[in-house]
Amino acid sequence: MSRHSKLQKQVLALYRQFLRAGRDKPGFIPRIHDEFRANARIKKTDVMHIEYLYRRGQRQLEQLRDVNTKQLGSFSKPKELS
């Protein structure tokens, strides 16, 4: 088993925290899996982008832990009409 860098350990810990927080809210676990799986393709050398996503994830985790949170929204680019 290979050793993980400090940043990798932080990301894995964040993932576990998301899974724990999402257990109590229906429909969140698949979204968490999809989000982390999509970002797993980022190169390990792209540290700035990983750190940005980590900080963003921390903010989203705080929102998820809020008892008033019922769903998470996401912004997406509108499809261009042709």
- Cβ neighbours of residue 11 closer than 8 Å, sequence gap 6 or more: 50, 54, 57
Write out the residue range of the structural domain in which residue 45 sits.
Answer: 6-65
- Identify the residue with better confidence: 82 or 51: 51
Q: Is the residue at 71 inside a domain?
A: no
Per-residue pLDDT tens over the stretch 23-79: 888 888 998 999 999 999 999 899 999 999 999 999 999 988 887 776 665 555 566
Residue 78 resides in a domain = no
* pTM, full prediction: 0.76
Taking a C-beta distance cutoff of 8 angstroms, is the pair 10, 54 a contact? yes
Is residue 79 situated within a structural domain?
Answer: no
pLDDT tier at 82 (50, 70, 90 boundaries)?
Answer: low
Q: How far lies 82's CA from each of 28, 76, 78, in Å?
A: 34, 18, 12
Domain count, the chain: 1
Phi, psi of 17 (to 5 degrees): -65, -40
